[in-house]
Structure 1
Amino acid sequence: MMGSSPMSQSVEMSAAAVLFDLDGVLVFSSASVHRSWTAWAHSHGIDPVAVLAAASGTRSVDTIRQVAPHLDAEAEATRLEAGQALDTSDVTAGPGAAALLESLAQHEWAIVTSGSEPLARARLRAAGLPEPKVFVTAEQVSAGKPDPAGYLLAAGLLGAPPQRCVVIEDAAAGIAAGRSAGMRVIGLGGGESEHLAEADVVAGACADLEVLREPGRGLIIRTTEGDV
């Protein structure tokens, strides 16, 4: 939808693999995220609004380095995410997430998350969603989103060319990472969200996406409704 007025229509993208962000795409964990970061910010005398804005789509360690460079970011992030991994009572699967994953073979999808491995696995379990064969977490990359390293690593592990991958994201940092990796990006959230402006296509949720297979085209991701 870059540089043009969005209009609602069905869009198809052929792909070798689909690379999912986790939080805000496959699982909804915003309440837990808000609680933990707000408590952390208050404990350090930092404005929680600024912290939550910085935390959107990025690794905890990178957020802490940005908002509190005087702290030991790695130690703080480890403690923060350990608490989040225990706070999953209201973590749920995103609309349509389970059905969308069921329509993909293991070699056709991966998760690329800014969360740590223990936290990501805890949220998947809480949401009742399957774990992927390829699971790229914060510990596996030297630079987090918006750096493309995570998405490029996932594509390589799946054996899929970056230009044949479709990224599904909800945050500006993740959308930027996918585009920097040379991949096409579906932004989830819909509406007039400015942070989705750099996505190739915008849809409301996983429920608005379906997987098709056609001879000669392979895997097809179709948006049943969305903006381009």
Structure 2
Amino acid sequence: MASVENPPAVHLPAAALLLDVDGTLIDSTPVVERAAHRWAAEYGLDPQEFLADAHGRRTADRVAEFVPPGRVAEATARLDELEASDTEGVVALPGVLDLLAALDGRPWALVTSMDRPLLDVRRAAAGLPLPEVVVTAEDVRQGKPDPEGYLLAARHLGVAAGECVVIEDAPAGIRAGRAAGARVVAVTTSHPAAALTEADMIVSDLTAVSVTAGGLLVSGNGARG
């Protein structure tokens, strides 16, 4: 993907908006890192190795790569417990609250790799509204990068996934959105632009995205694919 210096704003048609949560709408990085370090110490693991490819994926899927099959459920529950008990530093990312307020009745959904209790804790801490359609880790057989979550959200909204725009911050989520057939806008709030090149557009954060009658307007600081 080639970056374009100060390109014109681009309009993306969208029947609905499908949004990742952690790293896209909410910054929970301090909590995630604190919890991972405590959890890894309890299980005799390297926290940095665990965190290296954890973002954007279901906790159970990542935990399964580090502990024996018979301990995955227990270890996942322990990490979930540590994360849900800590909200210090959890905040909405720039532009998020304005963008969600501007949707004003337009169809949108949350599609997250978190389980529902953790989503509820972090959403409340960051002051985010809750849409009618929410897809969490418990709702899918396969987590991101599988497209199941985005396809399910689109189906619940009554629209074709190919007519939606997905907003993501992680490579696994971008691949999930693209595999679902949606256009994907990536934000560089957790990964550098070089890691997000599979997205259709890349912006620094959601201050670069505004709502139009037929979709989204992505301002000129985005890099177009």
What is the TM-score of this pair, normalised by structure 1?
A: 0.92
CA root-mean-square deviation = 1.5
- How far apart are the structure 1 equivalents of 2:196 and 2:123? 24
Quick one: which amino acid aligns to residue 16 of structure 1? A
The aligned residue for residue 202 of structure 1 is 202
- Deviation for aligned residue 1:79: 2.2
Bigger Cα displacement from structure 2, 17-26 vs 68-77? 68-77
- How far apart are the structure 1 equivalents of 2:192 and 2:109? 28
- How far apart are the structure 1 equivalents of 2:103 and 2:68? 41
Quick one: which amino acid aligns to residue 6 of structure 1? S
The aligned residue for residue 44 of structure 2 is 45
The aligned residue for residue 216 of structure 1 is none
Note the residue ranges of structure 2 that are not aligned, 5 or more in a row: none
Q: Percent identity?
A: 42
- How far apart are the structure 2 equivalents of 1:117 and 1:102? 22
- Deviation for aligned residue 1:192: 4.9
- How far apart are the structure 2 equivalents of 1:16 and 1:192? 28
What are the Cα deviations for residues 76-112 of structure 1, in whole angstroms up to 9, with x where unaligned? 2122112211201210001010110011144511000
1:160 partner SS: coil
Kindly report which structure 2 residues correspond to 1:121-136, keeping only aligned pairs within 5 A, or say none.
121-136=120-135
The aligned residue for residue 215 of structure 2 is 220
The answer as to whether partners of 2:193 and 2:202 remain within 8 angstroms in 1 is no
The aligned residue for residue 86 of structure 1 is 85
The aligned residue for residue 75 of structure 2 is 76
Bigger Cα displacement from structure 2, 104-113 vs 115-124? 104-113
The answer as to whether partners of 1:65 and 1:71 remain within 8 angstroms in 2 is no
1:186 partnered with 2:182: no
- How far apart are the structure 1 equivalents of 2:96 and 2:192? 22
- How far apart are the structure 2 equivalents of 1:24 and 1:169? 8
- How far apart are the structure 1 equivalents of 2:150 and 2:173? 9
Note the residue ranges of structure 1 that are not aligned, 5 or more in a row: 214-218
- How far apart are the structure 2 equivalents of 1:94 and 1:153? 25
The answer as to whether partners of 1:12 and 1:221 remain within 8 angstroms in 2 is yes
Question: How many aligned residue pairs are there?
Answer: 220
- Deviation for aligned residue 1:183: 0.7
What is the TM-score of this pair, normalised by structure 2?
A: 0.93
